[in-house]
Amino acid sequence: MSTPSFRDYLFAPDHPRVAEIRGLNAREYAEAAKTDSFAGPMIEGWQKLYPQPFAGITSDGVRREGLFPLAPARAGEEGPTADMVAAARKLLGTITPEQAGKLSYAVDAPEWQSWANPEFMQHDTGLRLDELGEPVRDAILGVVEASLSGEGFELVRNLMRINGFLGDLVELPLLMNEFSYNFALYGEPSETEPWGWQLFGHHAAINCLVAGSQLVISPVFMGAEPDMIDAGPHRGVKVFKERIALARQLMGALPADLRSLAVAYGSMVDPAMPEGRIHPGDERHLGGCFQDNRVIPYEGILVADMPVEARELLDAVVDDFIGYLPDGPRAARRREIQEQYGETYFSWIGGWEGDGAFYFRLQSPVVVLELDHHTGVFLSNDEPAPFHMHTVVRTPNGNDYGRELVKQATA
């Protein structure tokens, strides 16, 4: 059986899904989406969650303290703080006073929690890249580049390019383009005091805080519909292929009894699922936008019970998830995650053989990693497909947005 192609699921140009919103820009669609049959209920549900006082994701409703001490990073684990500060100051020197007023917030502002990953702009936080001149836009991307690894920055840019490719495919370039993203600064750029930035829009949301030499990039949402570009100047771009292959290999490396225990539900839409387990927008993943205080119970099997081969594959999955981090912070995050393997759970939904859709989650006191294949939003597939996925990285127990570090720094 051949792998399904996203091009088999393109809407006809006159289909109401795309024809009725053609010509709308992001601000116009932000209003139209409120009454849209698909987006409207999601917006209404999310409005109840923002702004709520931040507590953090937990597994049982009780936040575990003491996991994220504010201290200088260990040798070899330092963040690129000086480069980040230089890039942020260059940006501040490029913008107008009016733009500066819209760009910057307090380091602990609730607007941190306003990010979202759909194509509609629910919250107009910071500056919108597709409304800016090239010098300001380049300076913003310079801050992002200074904060991420080379491969991390390239992945973010490729997700933005895929968004532009999708906008062209469905003839909605005003709504979805390479720069239809918001960017905000939080706090004053400093080599000693906490500050950070946020970039968010369709299928890409990154929240970054640096406190001295410690770097926290979480929550992170990265996704794609489709997962590749097969025409135009960026032809050949593909995303998440290795992560998906590693996850399948990991399931194959588990003994049959452990694999059976890891599978929470055998199919992506399973009659055994409780009401509400599948969200209309997030589908199976649990740590998306506006879920900052969600209780996510552990499921599946303990990583400590995995055989060596499976655990090595899991290490590779983790490395792929956190590959957006520069070398030093990536080493710190890898160590932090591995130190909790005795309390880390791995769970799965769907099949694992072949090329079908699936979901998995790795969860511990210090991390939540999720990958979920989705039905179409701007493609017509009504079942989860391997060419549309969402991935999520969360830091539970209070350190999303580096909030635990900020709390200690301002105590």
Same domain, 304 and 398: yes
**Domain-embedded: residue 226:** no
Q: Domain ends where: 194, 221, 248?
A: 221
Same domain, 329 and 366: yes
**Domain-embedded: residue 142:** yes
pLDDT at 332: 98
**Domain-embedded: residue 260:** yes
Provide the residue range defining the domain that includes 92: 9-221
**Domain-embedded: residue 171:** yes
**Number of domains the chain contains:** 2
CA-based end-to-end distance of the chain? 60
Q: Are strands 104-105 and 181-186 parallel, antiparallel or unpaired?
A: parallel
Stretches in the chain below the pLDDT threshold 50: 1
Same domain, 207 and 252: no
Q: Domain ends where: 221, 246, 269?
A: 221
* Of 38, 51, 26, the residue nearest 281 (C-alpha): 38
Same domain, 286 and 165: no
**Domain-embedded: residue 323:** yes
pLDDT at 1: 44
Q: Domain ends where: 193, 221, 249?
A: 221
Say if residue 69 is preceded by a cis peptide, omega within 30 of 0: no
Tracing tokens 């969360």 back to the chain, one arrives at 394
pLDDT at 411: 85
CB neighbours of residue 120 within 10 Å: 22
Same domain, 194 and 270: no
Same domain, 292 and 376: yes
Same domain, 205 and 245: no
pLDDT at 37: 83
Same domain, 145 and 251: no
pLDDT at 226: 98
**Domain-embedded: residue 96:** yes
Same domain, 273 and 138: no
**Domain-embedded: residue 232:** no
Nearest 5°: the CA angle 195, 199, 204 is 140
**Domain-embedded: residue 393:** yes
Q: Which residues of 318-328 are buried (b: 16+ CB within 10 A; e: fewer)?
A: bbbbbbbbbeb
CB neighbours of residue 316 within 10 Å: 17
